[in-house]
């Protein structure tokens, strides 16, 4: 079986991950580099591990998480779709079984809130992992005075905790937001679609999605 380590060590994938971030830097987007994809990969695996899925499903979720933003090397627009096709071809060249790489392709192709939704266990885990990575570390713009609303919301998040409970059948995103930088309402304006996508992804896995901001339960 192709593993996450095999994917990480693939020189072509390494180069495209780097090119993806270079392009997003030029466009002024938040961080989508190795930091982000590693967090998403680990969390996607954590979701399925906690819920008792097999090691194989966990590994596929980790791979999907690591490759999910590779389409940004083509264009930010429709990056989920182009990334899904790129990932499929890479995994094919690496010798992965057709069914497994198709499931990863489906997950990556459905991770963006504008066009996607949870379609299998891997995609549901990927969505929960991806949409939970909200933090000031993702803001690359060094000039606070030029922040757009998206930068402000991310920079305002000083702490983000992602918790899973198998017993309670619940996943919790617990955020601490500095309201002097951005009001909580702006979070919902920017991230409502992502929040609802996470809620549906959790439902697909038979668990509940809970959002807590500044010690107040909102979902």
**Structure-block tokens of residue 85:** 């096709």
| C-alpha to C-alpha distances, 131 to 111, 195, 198, nearest whole angstrom | 9, 7, 7
Give the chain's count of helices (H) and strands (E). Answer: 9, 4
Domain span at 180: 4-217
Q: What is the average per-residue pLDDT within 112-139?
A: 95
Three-class secondary structure of residue 212 per DSSP: strand
Average pLDDT, the chain: 95
- The pTM for the full model equals 0.95
**For residue 190, pLDDT beyond 90:** no
Q: What is the CATH number of the domain that holds 8?
A: 1.10.3210.10
What pLDDT score does 132 carry?
A: 96
**For residue 74, pLDDT beyond 90:** yes
pLDDT tier at 102 (50, 70, 90 boundaries)? very high
> In total, how many domains does the chain have?
1
φ, ψ at 165 (rounded to 5°)? -135, 110
Dihedral sign (CA 141, 25, 38, 40): positive
What pLDDT score does 181 carry?
A: 92
**For residue 71, pLDDT beyond 90:** yes
């Amino acid at each position: 079986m192709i593993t996450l380590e095999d994917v990480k060590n693939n020189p072509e994938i390494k180069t495209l991950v780097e090119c993806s971030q270079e392009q997003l830097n030029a466009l002024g987007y938040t961080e989508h580099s190795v930091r982000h994809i590693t967090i998403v990969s680990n969390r996607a695996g954590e979701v399925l591990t906690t819920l008792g899925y097999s090691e194989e499903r966990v590994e596929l979720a980790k791979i999907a998480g690591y490759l999910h933003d590779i389409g940004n090397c083509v264009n930010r627009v429709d990056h989920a779709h182009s990334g899904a096709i790129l990932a499929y071809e890479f995994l094919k060249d690496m010798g992965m079984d057709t069914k497994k790489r198709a499931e990863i392709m489906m997950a990556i192709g459905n991770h963006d809130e504008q066009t996607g939704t949870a379609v299998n266990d891997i995609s549901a885990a990927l969505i929960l992992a991806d949409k939970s990575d909200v933090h000031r570390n993702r803001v690359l713009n060094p000039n606070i005075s030029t922040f757009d609303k998206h930068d402000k919301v991310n920079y305002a998040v000083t702490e983000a905790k992602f918790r899973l409970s198998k017993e309670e059948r619940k996943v919790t995103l617990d955020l601490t937001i500095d309201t002097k930088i951005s009001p909580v309402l702006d979070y919902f304006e920017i991230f409502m679609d992502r929040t609802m996508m996470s809620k549906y992804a959790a439902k697909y896995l038979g668990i509940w999605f809970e959002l807590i901001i500044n010690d107040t339960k909102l979902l």
